[in-house]
Amino acid sequence: MHNKTIAELSAALRAGEVTSRELTRHFLERIRSLDGGLNAVITVTEEQALAQADAADARIAAGQAGPLTGIPLLHKDLFCTDGVRTSCGSRMLDNFVAPYDAAVVERLREAGMVMLGKTNMDEFAMGSSNENSYYGPVRNPWDTERVPGGSSGGSAAVVAARLTPAATGTDTGGSIRQPASLCGITGIKPTYGRVSRWGMIAFASSLDQGGAFARTAEDCALVLGAMAGTDPRDSTSIEREVPDYAAGLDADLSGLRIGLPKEYFGEGLDAGVAAAVEAAVETFKSLGAEVREVSLPNTHLAVPAYYVVAPAECSSNLSRFDGVRFGHRCENPKDLTDLYERSRGEGFGPEVQRRIMVGTYALSAGYYDAYYLKAQKVRRLISDDFLRAFEEVDLILGPTSPSTAFRLGEKAADPVSMYLSDIYTIAVNLAGLPGMSVPAGFADGLPVGLQIIGNYFEEGRMLNAAHRFQQATDWHTRAPHGFE
């Protein structure tokens, strides 16, 4: 059962070939037996999962099931889950039990999905390798000596290892697409505002966006369709009707205009990754797409702009974790200053502390205009680059990551090298555009991801292109050895 897609499992549930309880037990057992070598799951909610599975079976028997009813999933551990620990991968929230469900959790529960538990992640979603978690690093199922990518590395790893058919993630600078690429699965980040951020613990509020991992574009279409939609509790939520993403998956690609940014195929791109992406482009040509070169001239400014904007917003958002109201509190503080200093010093890991310090500096008197304001102006230039490109093309294609999965510890001592892992994904977040990564081959035995970028609210077009590509290839069907 674990090698079936969501669409296939949904059909099996409706046909009575399997029950949701049986399916849930199967995946819980896989987590028990296989996650020890991955460290991808922080919390397992077995009792709650079985109760939700029984409720799903009742809905199916009553003829009230939707396409996701009875399908198991895991949530990234920064989505609040009522009565269940929500740690954000941090010692700061190791003892925090959320009193309500995040909008994403709520909507997927209402769609009938069964929550198996919560996945490991870079602390407060800060990282590109999933080595920054208080609970230890997640390992890539394709090679357990390598990283799965971050910050949603736990969610990507559990889908790649067939421990769940789907998982949620968040993407602030590539944190869905980059781990999807490194783990050989499909991941989608929708347009900023398409999915409610209510109950999603914030890192950088103008960049964070919830999304989904699954093995196929079709499965992502089903999950995103249930997650998306306006939410009055989130002021950044967009009031716009959500289309039926699954309905348009089979549309013909003849005449689709695809742009290849010349800036994405230069120095720093691994030769094996480039070859796989070029082969994927040829597949799109064979499907009737028209391919042309486009330019995104301010791409080289995306990383420096991001690493001013994101730390500045993180500095502001994480100021609430002070040892007073909730989260980690130091032992026997001498006074209020000691409480703040030791609670935050003990509760936050090195990468989070680094970004808070950078952000606080960028926002300080005398530096705001020089750094934060200038970064926001660069952000506008980057958005304008994409808008000009989308006057000529319908979608933009390129590599998701400049390399395949790197070894654990390889970049830990070099933060700048680590930050450059997201060089192709960050600009999409700065512009608020939708993007996704699909498996497109292998280099040296490790998965390569193809990034597909769409114009605002063009998730359906991206999913259609990805689906047709997956119908013509079999990269998305490959499973890592030992997890087949």
How far is C-alpha 404 from the geometric centre of its chain's CA atoms?
Answer: 17
Q: What DSSP state is assigned to residue 262?
A: G
Residues forming beta bridges with residue 451, ordered by sequence position: 398, 437
Give the N- to C-terminal CA distance of the chain in Å, as an integer.
11
Omega within 30 of 0 (cis) for the link into 437:
no
Q: What count of other Cβ atoms lies within 10 Å of the Cβ of residue 128?
A: 29
Residues forming beta bridges with residue 257, ordered by sequence position: 290
Amino acid at 112: G
For 76-114, letters b (16+ CB in 10 Å) and e give bbbbbbbebbbbbbbbbbbebebeebbbbbbbbbebbbb
Note whether 352 and 123 are within 8 A (CB): yes
- Using DSSP's 3-state secondary structure scheme, residue 72 falls into strand
Amino acid at 63: G
- Nearest partner of 40 among 162, 184, 155, 165, judged by Cα: 155
- Nearest partner of 453 among 259, 281, 244, judged by Cα: 259
CA distances from 358 to 201, 307, 355, 416 (A): 20, 8, 5, 13
Active site residues: 76, 151, 175
